[in-house]
Structure 1
Amino acid sequence: MRVTDVAATAQAAGNHGVRARFQFAREHLALAQKPGDGVPAYTRWVNRRAARLAAAVAFALRVTPNGVTVASLVASLLGMALLAAAPISGPTAWFVAAAFALAYLLDSADGQVARLSGRASKAGEWLDHVVDAVRTPATHVVVAVAWVTSFGGWGVLSFAALLMSVLLAGQFMSQILAEQLLRRAGREQRRGGVLRSWILLPTDPGAWAWIFVTWQWPTIFMWGYLLLTTINLIHIIWSMRRRYVDLRSADLDLQHRAQGGGA
């Protein structure tokens, strides 16, 4: 069954009760999934599967895709508020990590709800990207603020957090724009397989979410955060270089075609 057929059937299922809609969603969400090739491991095998359940619940309760996006943003803001204002403790660390993990789960669920219900829209995709573009760097800015207020000084971690906020914002723009430009040029995205998924685990938003479990042990958190920062810095440099090479290759292909057509 095609995704469009699933969406049409989903609209018909919307007339039934909550349990029937939930069961329908559970059975059909597998047909509305993005390919997982080369996707970081946590996203591929944990987050997307958990997001299916969240998407089924949202569909059953008639929550719109934009509603799920807003819920994701609220979870992120809750995690940031706890990180900045709550005392460093075990409960705080777990609540912050869980809030960020929930936010990421819902960030994956909104697209699944949109594809399942046939309510995907350019406005919804725009909202999803704007939320991601704001909260990702904002989270690391809050880490810097929380570290300064908790320990009375900037330290290397605060500067690393501010660096990550800038780099991740730049990478997000690089990735989104490069995908659009390559698509216009008729180029397919290079993805990779299982090995790539595991290699990219330290760059996974899920890894960034659960590192906050160690917030209750500041020294461990600092070294873990700095390790993730170092790995992500290397990955961002490599990723941007790869994007540039792909786009440059697309430019050369277009030039060759133009020269061939002129001849």
Structure 2
Amino acid sequence: MTTTDPMPTLTETLTRLRAAQKGHARGAPAYSVYVNRRIGRVLAAIGYRLGLTPNQVTMVSAAHTFAGIVLLATMPPSWWSGIVVAALLVLGYAWDSADGQVARLRGGGSVAGEWLDHFVDAIKIATLHLAVLIGLFRFGDLDEPVLLLPIGYSIVATVTFFGMILNDLLKGARGVASTHARGGGTLGRSLLLVPTDFGLLCLVFLLWGAPPAFLTVYAALFAANTLFLCAASVKWFREMRRVG
């Protein structure tokens, strides 16, 4: 589109995005594929019509996400604070999906933009569970072993993210297809991996005002993510041996 071309309507922009949509990564969990991407598509169309760059969209995502994380650490758990935190995290995740879609509408992204996107993701993953820890410590009358849950979850989430990024980096350096190469995947696989979906974790904070219910679901997700990391690490190591 040139500077003299009229701005496409929201409907036209959404149609362009659907046509240019890449296949989802193999192993992408269901919420990310069937819910978050679609919300992100609408936000991308809105951001594009507002003239936002992909990097600006990334920063909008960061603003929503980190506002939710700060609330977790500073506000006493309640139903209303849980709803606000969940809404902010869900919107932050959706805007995170939108930045790449805006880049495609504008003709392609940049290495700097990809770096910024991953850098913000790394901060989010490293701080979210620590905010849960702070919130539980400050406002919850809990036994000390319970506080080990967010510490363990933070370790698992950080190591998983690093492992995925490292896999793609090492494979890309050797001309091998990414572990998460796009090209679709089965619905069954996507549903099976729902417990590892960051979007599902965002929704769990709707229970923030009911600590026993929150901790039960949170612990279940932690266990599922730990099992996933254990299984994935074996698979990734075998892939690296083949690459080597």
Alignment of 1:60-79 (within 5 A): 60-79=49-68
Which residue in the other structure is 2:188 paired with?
A: 195
Give the alignment's TM-score, normalised by structure 1: 0.85
Post-superposition offset of 1:198 = 0.5
> Is it true that 1:25 corresponds to 2:16 in the alignment?
no
> Is it true that 1:83 corresponds to 2:76 in the alignment?
no
> Is it true that 1:231 corresponds to 2:224 in the alignment?
yes
The amino acid of 2:84's aligned partner reads F
Match of 1:47 among 30, 36, 56: 36
Is 1:72–1:102's contact at 8 Å kept on the other side of the alignment? yes
Post-superposition offset of 1:185 = 3.2
Q: Describe the superposition over 1:124-183 as per-residue Cα deviations: whole angstroms up to 9, x where unpaired.
A: 000000000111120000000000001255633421111121221121111111112223
Post-superposition offset of 1:13 = 7.4
The amino acid of 1:238's aligned partner reads A
Once residues 201 and 12 of structure 1 are traced to their aligned partners in structure 2, the CA distance between those partners, rounded to angstroms, is 42
Once residues 26 and 125 of structure 1 are traced to their aligned partners in structure 2, the CA distance between those partners, rounded to angstroms, is 23
Alignment of 1:157-168 (within 5 A): 157-168=146-157
Once residues 21 and 188 of structure 1 are traced to their aligned partners in structure 2, the CA distance between those partners, rounded to angstroms, is 37
- Structure with a larger share of its residues in helix: 1
Any idea what SS the aligned residue of 1:216 has? coil
Calculate the aligned-residue CA RMSD, in Å. Answer: 1.8
The amino acid of 1:117's aligned partner reads R
Post-superposition offset of 1:21 = 4.5
Alignment of 1:92-131 (within 5 A): 92-131=81-120
Q: Describe the superposition over 1:41-94 as per-residue Cα deviations: whole angstroms up to 9, x where unpaired.
A: 000100001110000000001011111100111101111122122232211111
- Which shows bigger deviation, 80-89 or 30-39? 30-39
Post-superposition offset of 1:218 = 0.5
Relative CO higher for 1 or 2, CA cutoff 8 Å, sep ≥ 6?
A: 2
Larger-gyration structure (1/2): 1
Once residues 109 and 14 of structure 1 are traced to their aligned partners in structure 2, the CA distance between those partners, rounded to angstroms, is 25
- Which shows bigger deviation, 80-89 or 219-228? 80-89
Once residues 233 and 198 of structure 2 are traced to their aligned partners in structure 1, the CA distance between those partners, rounded to angstroms, is 18
Give the alignment's TM-score, normalised by structure 2: 0.92
Is 1:147–1:154's contact at 8 Å kept on the other side of the alignment? no
Once residues 85 and 33 of structure 1 are traced to their aligned partners in structure 2, the CA distance between those partners, rounded to angstroms, is 39
Once residues 213 and 179 of structure 1 are traced to their aligned partners in structure 2, the CA distance between those partners, rounded to angstroms, is 33
Once residues 177 and 113 of structure 2 are traced to their aligned partners in structure 1, the CA distance between those partners, rounded to angstroms, is 24
Once residues 53 and 219 of structure 2 are traced to their aligned partners in structure 1, the CA distance between those partners, rounded to angstroms, is 38
Any idea what SS the aligned residue of 1:84 has? helix
Once residues 183 and 12 of structure 1 are traced to their aligned partners in structure 2, the CA distance between those partners, rounded to angstroms, is 34
Any idea what SS the aligned residue of 2:2 has? helix
Post-superposition offset of 1:240 = 1.6
Post-superposition offset of 1:32 = 2.7
Q: Decide whether aligned partners of structure 1 residues 193 and 183 sit closer, same or farther in structure 2, where only a CA change above 3 A counts.
A: farther
The amino acid of 1:75's aligned partner reads H
The amino acid of 1:203's aligned partner reads T
Match of 1:221 among 201, 214, 220: 214
Gaps of 5+ in 2: none
The amino acid of 1:115's aligned partner reads R
Percent identity reads: 33
Once residues 85 and 153 of structure 1 are traced to their aligned partners in structure 2, the CA distance between those partners, rounded to angstroms, is 17
Once residues 14 and 88 of structure 1 are traced to their aligned partners in structure 2, the CA distance between those partners, rounded to angstroms, is 52
The amino acid of 2:37's aligned partner reads R
Post-superposition offset of 1:187 = 3.1
